[in-house]
Structure 1
């Protein structure tokens, strides 16, 4: 029997057990860098498979190793572990048991797929040559990103530059399908924190105040020039503000207003210029209207660039495993991922795993309280990861 058929059979045979693994992880989500019970559970699952070479990285992360018959080529498969501060609103039996915490970005699926791939690879360890590293990474959702911590570990550094593969769930893509994008794929991400400090007072006497709410309004509107008039139309850029806090009342002008947002793009030079321009623009508006302005824009994740040769090769391997109809080409995605750090120093491929199912009503987006998946995607995710690893090693 060909190795491809063996992988498919094993993925199908083990999938029911790993649905339960995914449900356990979904019920017990933990926030970034606090994935202590998650780490303990994954270690137990790896040992249950038979994998003994397991190292702790980035405090709550794990780096496990499966050796084939020879120790020549090496590939790394990565999954992230952390959940989001969201109150789940699903009515499923496996709803989160941790109040205000939810796997709303599919990291439970990522971990389960990697564990299923590990099970398959361990079963076949006498039938391939090379080494597969399994990275369960904490803290993807918050800066500085768990990837930066993993990359400082001696155990990770010892691997040297090797191919990295990672996958991310996508509800807009039907379960059973996957998508690839060679070259530029995901955007950089910088957090924007602006504090406008004025002078509060009674709303009936605005002439005695320096109104930070009015000033913040001007800032938000004017800041959009950054994308509409300062950015090249050839360079995708997004500037969005998602939070404004002006703690006054209907008749109270507050002393200060805070504004929070994000800036994303694909050009690192423009990224630096844009942050400088935004800072200058925001401060000049506030100061021109008599207020003080504090701008804090901590540098976030870089843009993610898939290695063209590796991604094209992996895509062809996916077609061999899933069929051409189940492999799609992707466009740019303005989301950000700390997998981007790995892609700066290693040939890397980050692809999307379909988890949606319109007929079953599984359509909610990422980072929403009703996000869920068609669990048949676990068989696809785990089987494909194992296949892609072995095809590279072969």
Structure 2
């Protein structure tokens, strides 16, 4: 890479840092759940229009795209930020803590939006690129099913806003602020949800012999499910089955009619994903039958494996190394068992989803004590700016 001194530096964002941090904290104070991001989208759209972007609203719900063209180049790029919050009650005690009871930005989407807005403002005033820039502000990443990425694609996202490649970023607590993490190929797991209903026969607690106890059946099934990964999946592969919910009964002296369970199932390869479903379905049915109960299984396919393309990942890594130095870049990080609906975008276009450290010793994602680290805002904005400048360079002369 050449002419690096003509490209964006982190210090170039110093004059707008306070403004963008203020936007981030405003969004944090006013979080909106998946598919409810109307006010956040309106704020983003107003700022983009103020800075000269053509804004298209209501893509896949509250999604929007800000488009800016410079020069006569034919290359194009898409940069994506997510906007939705989570149904978690905030416990940070910060001055900018959520004002909406039971809802907070516990995953940093407020920060992702702010970083991209910082880049948007800087790119609008410098226009140091030659081509078409599409800034994608996406709703409902946290939905799990029929998510914002899927809805935007159904609304013709890449047909309406062509992108040669698409890039996204997520903060990563536990790693030093400003450290960039990359991985080519499978990076984040597919995530499926399994809902199980164990139907038995209720009875008085003093007469268990007259019942088919769904609580005992379900409790035993929790342990049996642990064998699927340990005894059916190749130990060299990665897979997770977590029983996250188990509910049954309402009184100590009543054996209930049924029990319900919910599982989170994660994998990195399609054949492993298929094997997990096959074994879970078979184990649940036979296990319930062995207790005289009956099982009903709803298997919900969630986000696919997120697969970064090699060339775009190496390009994105090089931009980070140029901006913050090789010592602040982890070129082969992960894989990560969490899931991300940016995977759907990468099924349609080449690109890279990367991570940036949110600080060591900081609360993890989806935690009531979490907050996005504002020191990342100028770093992330400068990174997005330089990525655009490198992807669509202005021709000399």
Does the aligned pair in 2 maintain the 1:54–1:64 contact within 8 Å? yes
Does the aligned pair in 1 maintain the 2:106–2:370 contact within 8 Å? yes
Match of 2:335 in 1: 332
Structure 2 residue 350 is the aligned partner of structure 1 residue 347: yes
CA distance in 1, matches of 2:374, 2:137: 20
Match of 1:230 in 2: 232
Match of 1:289 in 2: 291
Match of 1:67 in 2: 69
Does the aligned pair in 2 maintain the 1:4–1:321 contact within 8 Å? no
Match of 2:363 in 1: 364
CA distance in 2, matches of 1:353, 1:292: 47
Change in Cα spacing, 1:4 to 1:103, as seen in structure 2 (3 Å) is farther
CA distance in 1, matches of 2:55, 2:62: 16
1:233-252 equivalences under 5 Å are 233-252=235-254
Match of 1:384 in 2: 383
Deviation at 1:9, TM superposition (A): 3.6
- After TM superposition, the score normalised by the length of structure 1 is 0.95
Does the aligned pair in 2 maintain the 1:7–1:120 contact within 8 Å? no
Once the two structures are overlaid, the 10-residue window that deviates more, 80-89 or 348-357, is 348-357
Deviation at 1:4, TM superposition (A): 4.9
Match of 2:117 in 1: 115
Q: Could you say what secondary structure the match of 2:339 adopts?
A: coil
Match of 2:42 in 1: 40
Match of 1:374 in 2: 373
Q: Could you say what secondary structure the match of 2:175 adopts?
A: strand
Deviation at 1:62, TM superposition (A): 0.5
Does the aligned pair in 1 maintain the 2:79–2:167 contact within 8 Å? yes
Match of 1:134 in 2: 135
Does the aligned pair in 1 maintain the 2:134–2:163 contact within 8 Å? no
Does the aligned pair in 2 maintain the 1:356–1:373 contact within 8 Å? no
Does the aligned pair in 1 maintain the 2:76–2:163 contact within 8 Å? no
Match of 1:124 among 115, 123, 126: 126
CA distance in 2, matches of 1:340, 1:302: 6
CA distance in 2, matches of 1:231, 1:198: 30
Match of 1:176 in 2: 178
Q: Could you say what secondary structure the match of 1:103 adopts?
A: coil
CA distance in 1, matches of 2:304, 2:226: 22
Match of 1:203 in 2: 205
Q: Could you say what secondary structure the match of 1:11 adopts?
A: helix
Structure 2 unaligned runs (5+)? none
Q: Hey, which bits of structure 1, 4+ residues long, moved more than 6 A?
A: none
Structure 2 residue 151 is the aligned partner of structure 1 residue 154: no
Does the aligned pair in 1 maintain the 2:48–2:55 contact within 8 Å? no
Match of 2:277 in 1: 275
Structure 1 unaligned runs (5+)? none
Deviation at 1:161, TM superposition (A): 5.6
Kindly tell me the number of residue pairs found equivalent between the two proteins: 389
- After TM superposition, the score normalised by the length of structure 2 is 0.94
CA distance in 1, matches of 2:347, 2:8: 34
